[in-house]
A = this chain, B = another copy of it.
Amino acid sequence: MNPANQRTAEGILFTDQYQLSMAQLYFRQGIHEQMAQFDHFYRRNPNYGLHEAGYCISAGLEWLVNWMQEVYFHPEDLAYLRSQRTRSGAQMFDEDFLAYLGEYGNFSQISLHAIPEGRVVHPNVPLSIVRGPLLMAQILETPLLNQLNYQTLIATKAARIREVSRAALVLEFGLRRGQERGANAGTRAALIGGADFTSNVGLSHVLGYPPKGTHAHAMVQVFLAMGHSELDAFRAYAECYPDDCLLLVDTVNTLESGVPNAIRVFEELRAQGHTPVGIRLDSGDLAYLAVQAAHMLDAAGFAQTSIVLSNDLDELSIWQIQSQIVDEAHRHAMDADAVIKRLIYGVGTRLVTSHGEGALGGVYKLVALQKDQVWHPAIKIADSPNKMTNPGLKQAWRLYDQRGQATADLITLEDEDPRQQPQITLRHHSDHSRHRTLHQHELTWIEPLLVEVLRNGQLVYDLPSLDAMRQTRIADVDRLDTGVRRIMNPHIYHVSLSPALWDLKQELLQAMGK
Residues of chain A at the chain B interface (Cβ within 8 Å): 1-3, 5, 8-11, 13-22, 24-26, 28-29, 31, 36, 38, 49, 60, 63, 66, 70, 77, 80, 84-88, 90, 92, 134, 138, 141-142, 145-147, 149-151, 173, 175-186, 199-206, 210-219, 221-222, 224-227, 236-237, 239-241, 243-244, 251-252, 275, 277, 283-284, 349, 352-355, 358-361, 365-366, 368-369, 371, 376-383, 512
The CA-CA distance from A153 to B182 in the complex, in Å, is 15
Residue of B3, B77, B239, B284 touching A70 (CB-CB under 8 A): B3
Known interface pairs A18-B213, A179-B183. Does A226 touch B369 (Cβ–Cβ under 8 Å)? yes
Chain B: CB-nearest residue to A375: B225
Known interface pairs A9-B206, A221-B366, A222-B366. Does A215 touch B176 (Cβ–Cβ under 8 Å)? no
Contact in complex: B215, A380 (CB < 8 Å): no
Residue of B134, B186, B216, B241 touching A86 (CB-CB under 8 A): B241
The CA-CA distance from A20 to B92 in the complex, in Å, is 50
Contacts of A361 in B (CB 8 A): 177, 349
Contacts of A219 in B (CB 8 A): 22, 25
Contact in complex: A185, B179 (CB < 8 Å): yes
Contacts of A92 in B (CB 8 A): 241, 244
Residue of B28, B182, B377 touching A182 (CB-CB under 8 A): B182
| Contacts A/B (CB < 8 Å), 8 sampled | A5-B206, A10-B202, A60-B180, A84-B211, A90-B243, A146-B175, A222-B366, A283-B382
The CA-CA distance from A24 to B181 in the complex, in Å, is 26
Give A90 Cβ to nearest chain B Cβ, in Å: 7
Chain B: CB-nearest residue to A218: B366
Contact in complex: A175, B218 (CB < 8 Å): no
Contact in complex: B383, A201 (CB < 8 Å): no
**Residue with the greatest number of chain B CB neighbours at <10 A, chosen from A70, A138, A224:** A224
Contacts of A199 in B (CB 8 A): 16-18
Stoichiometry, as copies per complex, reads 2
Give A14 Cβ to nearest chain B Cβ, in Å: 5
Question: Shortest 9 CB-CB distances between A and B: which pairs?
Answer: A182-B182, A179-B182, A17-B213, A179-B179, A18-B213, A13-B202, A353-B358, A180-B185, A180-B182
Contact in complex: A177, B359 (CB < 8 Å): yes
Contact in complex: A146, B36 (CB < 8 Å): no
Contact in complex: B36, A222 (CB < 8 Å): yes
Contact in complex: B176, A9 (CB < 8 Å): no
Contact in complex: B349, A216 (CB < 8 Å): no
Give A460 Cβ to nearest chain B Cβ, in Å: 18
Contact in complex: B88, A14 (CB < 8 Å): no
Residue of B1, B183, B377 touching A206 (CB-CB under 8 A): B1
The CA-CA distance from A227 to B34 in the complex, in Å, is 14
Known interface pairs A15-B201, A216-B18. Does A87 touch B243 (Cβ–Cβ under 8 Å)? yes
Contacts of A186 in B (CB 8 A): 179-180
Give A429 Cβ to nearest chain B Cβ, in Å: 19
**Residue with the greatest number of chain B CB neighbours at <10 A, chosen from A15, A21, A60, A201:** A201
Contacts of A2 in B (CB 8 A): 66, 70
The CA-CA distance from A173 to B142 in the complex, in Å, is 10
Chain B: CB-nearest residue to A226: B371
Residue of B18, B179, B218, B366 touching A22 (CB-CB under 8 A): B218
The CA-CA distance from A77 to B224 in the complex, in Å, is 32
Known interface pairs A8-B205, A13-B202, A201-B17. Does A380 touch B251 (Cβ–Cβ under 8 Å)? yes
Contact in complex: B28, A252 (CB < 8 Å): no
Contacts of A283 in B (CB 8 A): 382-383
The CA-CA distance from A405 to B64 in the complex, in Å, is 49
Contacts of A226 in B (CB 8 A): 31, 369, 371, 376
Known interface pairs A147-B180, A358-B354, A382-B283. Does A16 touch B213 (Cβ–Cβ under 8 Å)? yes
Contacts of A382 in B (CB 8 A): 283
The CA-CA distance from A431 to B226 in the complex, in Å, is 28
Contact in complex: A25, B236 (CB < 8 Å): yes
Residue of B24, B63, B90, B512 touching A1 (CB-CB under 8 A): B63
Known interface pairs A283-B383, A380-B221. Does A1 touch B358 (Cβ–Cβ under 8 Å)? no
Contact in complex: B383, A284 (CB < 8 Å): yes
Give A221 Cβ to nearest chain B Cβ, in Å: 5
Give A241 Cβ to nearest chain B Cβ, in Å: 7
Contacts of A178 in B (CB 8 A): 146, 150, 179, 182
Residue of B14, B20, B150, B213 touching A179 (CB-CB under 8 A): B150
Contact in complex: B17, A211 (CB < 8 Å): yes
